[in-house]
Chains A and B, each alone.
Chain A
Amino acid sequence: MSALDLIREELTQILADKGAETGEIAADTPLLNGPLDIDSLDLATLVVVLEEKTGLTPFADGFVLFHTAGELAALFGG
């Protein structure tokens, strides 16, 4: 599964868990300022799941700026 698919799956789960609307998530979907009802803690959760499932730690040396699902996916190997 690609990192983007993983992001889609986990975000849909996070949204469903909090009873928020789910929808199409594309590479250019903004994470925090788009159609998704998620906040910093949701995003933090998403990053933990990505770290656990890919074994990658792209933020080990500090924060890297990302805006969209695709940009986050790229940090986890695309």
Chain B
Amino acid sequence: MRLDPHFQLIEGETATSGADIVPRSASLIDIRQSPVRDLIAGLAAEGDLYVLRDASAPPPLVDTDAGRVWLQTSGTTGIPKWVGHDRETLSARIAPGTLGDTARWLLTFNPGSFAGVQVILSAMAGPHVLIVPALDASVADMADLAVRTNVTHISGTPTFWRAFVMALGSRPVSLKSLTLGGEASDQTLLDILRMRFPDAALRHIYATTEAGTVFSVRDGKAGFPRDWLSGDLTLTDRGTLAVRGRDTGDVIEVTDGRVLFKGRIDAMVNIGGVKVYPEMVEAHLLTLPIVQEARVSARPNPVTGHVLVADIVLKPDSDLAEAQIKAHLQTLPRAQRPVSLRFVTHIDVGATGKKSRVS
């Protein structure tokens, strides 16, 4: 794929036209060190491309030369998984824009994530303008950048959007398109966004690792219309949504005319778009010799959707070592760290013999 000369990349202080980015086969791009410009050159070429963002899982480097783009999932289990995507599948849902109707996209996702690549490809196909914040930019930095560079299109997680409207305050941004994905979108947030950006097309998308983007909802209401529950989308016996016969583990509730998401059937918790398993955090706590028992549970949170909280039973004769436990938790990725520690004398075990994780 040749880059359209009308495509424009704004990265840091540098603006680059599509004509100046030469497609280049690169087997490996380390997104922590390479500019997004290199990633775009690699995406526009044809060979196998490995996009590294977490060095704890080195790329498999199977030399298939099938022209796949290999991305790391965000590490639900702690160690990221590599998934190869055909370039065609990656761009399947991306429609080229109309010349003269240029979108100015802000990249809010990590450039090496599936969602990030979707935004990059959308801007490339437009051909539109892609505005790339620094890799360590905060949402407040992104809000400043959006104001400064007249961004019109933004896709982000619900957690991103809550922080974005908070950081933006009353400053004007002429958004035309606003997309939410990566977590279930709640009605209060959709209403706030509708009011704050009345002229923008508002949609929330549902995607799975296996199937990619499954559908997008454009009516500004949480969940999706009930009559979509047919064909590819079905309700399983255990009350979850299946996509093409594959159980997603997402619990749904079918109401009058609407299907709503009600969390997970397994213990997975979505914290600001990051998938976390509380059992793994419990296991991590239990590796500390002073911890006898631990229960980590999810608590609803208005900012990040959920947070983890921990109940901890210390071994007899252990001094209360909150600092030691906090330091031990620092070795986990941030989303996995319980934000509140409660020291208790025992942990209730439910009738099933399992620790109750309902907080």
Q: Taking beta carbons and an 8 Å cutoff, which residues of A are in contact with B?
A: 30-33, 39-41, 43-45, 47-49, 52, 59, 61-67
Besides the known contacts A41-B271, A49-B340, 16 further A-B residue pairs in the complex with CB atoms under 8 A apart: A33-B166, A40-B303, A41-B272, A43-B303, A44-B304, A44-B339, A45-B339, A47-B302, A47-B303, A48-B301, A48-B340, A49-B339, A61-B188, A63-B192, A65-B165, A67-B166
Quick one: CB contact mask for B254-278 with A, threshold 8 Å, 1 for yes? Answer: 0000000000000000011000000
Whether B340 pairs with A41 at a CB distance below 8 angstroms is no
Query: Please, how many residues of chain B have a CB less than 8 angstroms from a CB on the other chain?
Result: 33
Q: How distant is the Cα of A30 from the Cα of B189 in the complex, in angstroms?
A: 20
With both beta carbons as reference points, the residue of chain A lying nearest to B342 in the complex is identified as A52
Most chain-B Cβ atoms within 10 A of its Cβ — which of A33, A48, A62? A33
Whether A44 pairs with B166 at a CB distance below 8 angstroms is no
Secondary structure dominating the interface of B: helix
With both beta carbons as reference points, the residue of chain A lying nearest to B326 in the complex is identified as A17
**Least Cβ–Cβ distance between B275 and chain A, in angstroms:** 15
Answer yes or no: B335 CB below 8 A from chain A CBs. yes
Determine the chain B residues whose CB is within 8 A of the CB of A41 once the complex forms: 271-272, 303-304, 307, 334-335, 339
Determine the chain B residues whose CB is within 8 A of the CB of A49 once the complex forms: 339-340
Whether A48 pairs with B307 at a CB distance below 8 angstroms is yes
Determine the chain B residues whose CB is within 8 A of the CB of A30 once the complex forms: 167, 169
Would you mind naming 10 contact pairs between A and B with Cβ atoms under 8 Å apart? A30-B169, A32-B143, A32-B167, A33-B167, A39-B139, A47-B301, A48-B301, A59-B302, A62-B302, A63-B302
Answer yes or no: B74 CB below 8 A from chain A CBs. no
Determine the chain A residues whose CB is within 8 A of the CB of B163 once the complex forms: 32, 39-40, 43
**Least Cβ–Cβ distance between A64 and chain B, in angstroms:** 7
Most chain-A Cβ atoms within 10 A of its Cβ — which of B162, B303, B304, B307? B303
Answer yes or no: B187 CB below 8 A from chain A CBs. yes
Determine the chain B residues whose CB is within 8 A of the CB of A59 once the complex forms: 300-302
**Least Cβ–Cβ distance between A3 and chain B, in angstroms:** 15
* Neighbour of B272 across the interface among A33, A40, A47, A62, CB < 8 A: A40
Q: How distant is the Cα of A61 from the Cα of B304 in the complex, in angstroms?
A: 15
Determine the chain B residues whose CB is within 8 A of the CB of A67 once the complex forms: 166, 169
Interface residues of B in 161-175 (CB under 8 A from A): 162-163, 165-169
**Least Cβ–Cβ distance between B324 and chain A, in angstroms:** 14
Determine the chain B residues whose CB is within 8 A of the CB of A52 once the complex forms: 340
Interface residues of B in 264-319 (CB under 8 A from A): 271-272, 299-304, 307, 309
Q: How distant is the Cα of A39 from the Cα of B137 in the complex, in angstroms?
A: 10
Answer yes or no: B66 CB below 8 A from chain A CBs. no
With both beta carbons as reference points, the residue of chain A lying nearest to B305 in the complex is identified as A44
Given contacts A30-B169, A33-B167, A44-B307, contact A62 B162 (CB under 8 A): no
Q: How distant is the Cα of A41 from the Cα of B169 in the complex, in angstroms?
A: 19
Whether B307 pairs with A45 at a CB distance below 8 angstroms is yes
Answer yes or no: B72 CB below 8 A from chain A CBs. no
Whether A64 pairs with B302 at a CB distance below 8 angstroms is yes
* Neighbour of B188 across the interface among A31, A32, A33, A63, CB < 8 A: A63
* Neighbour of A63 across the interface among B138, B186, B340, CB < 8 A: B186
Q: How distant is the Cα of A52 from the Cα of B271 in the complex, in angstroms?
A: 19
